[in-house]
Amino acid sequence: MCHATVRCPDPAPAADPVPPRPRSHTRSDRAGVRPLGRPLWDRPNPKPDRTRDRARTTGLPHPHCRPAAAEPYPRQKESLLRALVYYVAATLDGFIAGPGGEFDFLPVPEDITADTLEVLPETVPTHVRAALGLPDRPNQRFDTALMGRGTYEPALREGVTSPYAHLRQIVFSRTLAGEDPAVQIIGDRPPAEVVRELKQQDGADIWLVGGGKLAAALLDEIDELIVKRSPRVACAGIPLFDGEFTPTAFVPVATKEFASGITRTTYVRER
């Protein structure tokens, strides 16, 4: 019997060893610190952000991104409603006037005056504008001014019945009589109800001039708070908000420091 020689096939070449998986980044090489997870190159592509794509094509802002705050901070218009802005000067301990309504202890240095004339010239009383060369300067942000009796009366004592004649003026008081047809006196309606109606009307933003009791009554309607804080302490007087204990959150969005030591901080209501 013939025995044929059977030749075994050559063994297959050994496969290259599997390269080790790259090590994930960790916060620290020390034992016991949890790694951050899969490295960036080993993660799946994120889900396309259609909203961000829309922002690129339409120019609309991404809902989670806001433009950098300019100086002064422009209100982020979340709707077409007018904003109620409490723009006021205060001491370090939060007083806007003394016990008798006096405010001459709050100085107005030249750098603050120059800034106000440039940014918000409409907040300068009408009888002072001519002396500062602003008789025809257009309003930059506000077209309506709201005042309580205590804020309006100092002007009356000086014989000024229409302190902001270049704005629509509304004074909330149950005791004052109408001294000037340019000033609307409201004493039979809640201030918040009036402000809600104003916000529905066409126009620019609304300036809450003061004082503390009116600000407290309108706390739920205030959209923005701009405080010029003077490096002084009063210890007593009329506070920024003179009302019941009502914790309310505002978010600081811009601050400007002046050489005179005054700081101007803008806050928006936390939504």
The token pair at 262 is: 């005054």
Identity of residue 151: T
Number of domains in the chain: 1
- Which domain does 240 fall in, by range? 69-269
CATH number at residue 238: 3.40.430.10
The answer to the question of residue 55 being in a domain is no
CA gap 85, 91 in Å, rounded: 19
The answer to the question of residue 53 being in a domain is no
Ranges of beta strands (E only) in the chain are 84-90, 95-97, 142-148, 168-172, 183-186, 205-210, 224-229, 238-239, 250-257, 263-269
Residue 12: which pLDDT band, with cuts at 50, 70 and 90? low
Which tens digit of pLDDT belongs to each residue from 138-179?
Answer: 999 999 999 999 999 989 988 999 999 999 999 999 999 877
Which tens digit of pLDDT belongs to each residue from 17-31?
Answer: 555 555 544 444 444
Assess whether pLDDT exceeds 60 at residue 75.
no
Q: By three-state DSSP, how is residue 37 classified?
A: coil
The answer to the question of residue 77 being in a domain is yes
Which tens digit of pLDDT belongs to each residue from 197-209?
Answer: 999 999 999 999 9
The answer to the question of residue 50 being in a domain is no
The answer to the question of residue 189 being in a domain is yes
Q: Which of 7-11, 19-23, 115-119, 255-259 has the highest mean pLDDT?
A: 255-259
What pLDDT was estimated at residue 20?
Answer: 55
Backbone angles phi, psi at 213, to 5 degrees: -70, -40
The answer to the question of residue 52 being in a domain is no
The answer to the question of residue 6 being in a domain is no
Residues 121, 137: contact at Cβ < 8 Å? yes
The answer to the question of residue 27 being in a domain is no
How far apart, in Å, are the Cα atoms of 230 and each of 1, 86, 103, 173?
A: 118, 16, 12, 29
